Structure 1
Amino acid sequence: MELDPQNSLSAIQAAIDQARVLIVTYSFSVIGAILLLIVGFLAARLVERWVYAGLGQVSGFDMTLRRFFSKIARYMVLGLVIVMVLGQFGIQTASMIAAIGAVGLAIGLALQGTLQNIAAGIMLLALRPLRIGEYVEVGSISGTVEEIGLFATRLRSADGIYLLAPNSTLWTQPVKNFTRNGARRNDITVTIDNADDFDKIQATLTALAVNSPYVKETPAPDTFIAELGETTMSVTLRYWTTVPDFLFAKIELNKSVRKALNVKE
Structure 2
Amino acid sequence: MENIEGLMQQAPEFIVTYGLKVVMAIVIFIIGKYLSNVAKNLTTKMMLSRKIDETVASFVGNLVWGVVFVFTIIATLGQIGVQTASLVAVLGAAGLAVGLALQGSLSNFASGVLMVVFRPCRVGDYVDAAGVSGTIDEITIFSTRLLTPDNKVIVAPNSAMMNGTITNYSAQEKRRIDMVIGVGYGADIAQTKKILTEVLDNNAYVLKDPAYTIALAELADSSINFVVRPWVKTPDYWGAKFELLEQIKNALDAANIEIPYPQMDLHLKEMPAK
TM, length-normalised to structure 1:
0.80
Tell me the residue number matched to 2:142. 151
**What is the percent sequence identity of the aligned residues?**
32
| Aligned match for 1:132, one of 123, 134, 149 | 123
Shift of 1:125: 1.8
The two structures, once aligned, show a CA RMSD in angstroms of: 3.0
Aligned residue identity for 1:258: K
| 1:186–1:250 Cα contact (<8 Å) kept | yes
Tell me the residue number matched to 1:207. 198
Going from structure 1 to structure 2, the CA distance change for 1:56 and 1:116 (only over 3 Å counts) comes to: closer
Residue 62 of structure 1 pairs with residue 52 of structure 2: yes
Larger deviation, residues 142-151 vs 164-173: 142-151
- Pairs within 5 Å for 1:1-265: 37-54=29-46, 60=50, 62-64=52-54, 66-87=57-78, 90-229=81-220, 232-262=223-253
| 2:183–2:260 Cα contact (<8 Å) kept | no
In structure 1, list runs of 5 or more residues that go unmatched.
1-9
Tell me the residue number matched to 1:4. none
CA distance in 1, matches of 2:102, 2:236: 44
| 1:228–1:234 Cα contact (<8 Å) kept | yes
Going from structure 1 to structure 2, the CA distance change for 1:49 and 1:35 (only over 3 Å counts) comes to: same
| 2:174–2:234 Cα contact (<8 Å) kept | yes
Going from structure 1 to structure 2, the CA distance change for 1:102 and 1:216 (only over 3 Å counts) comes to: same
| 1:120–1:168 Cα contact (<8 Å) kept | yes
| 2:223–2:260 Cα contact (<8 Å) kept | no
Shift of 1:156: 1.3
| 1:245 counterpart SS class | helix
Tell me the residue number matched to 2:264. none
TM, length-normalised to structure 2:
0.77
Report how many residues are paired. Answer: 247
CA distance in 2, matches of 1:206, 1:176: 30
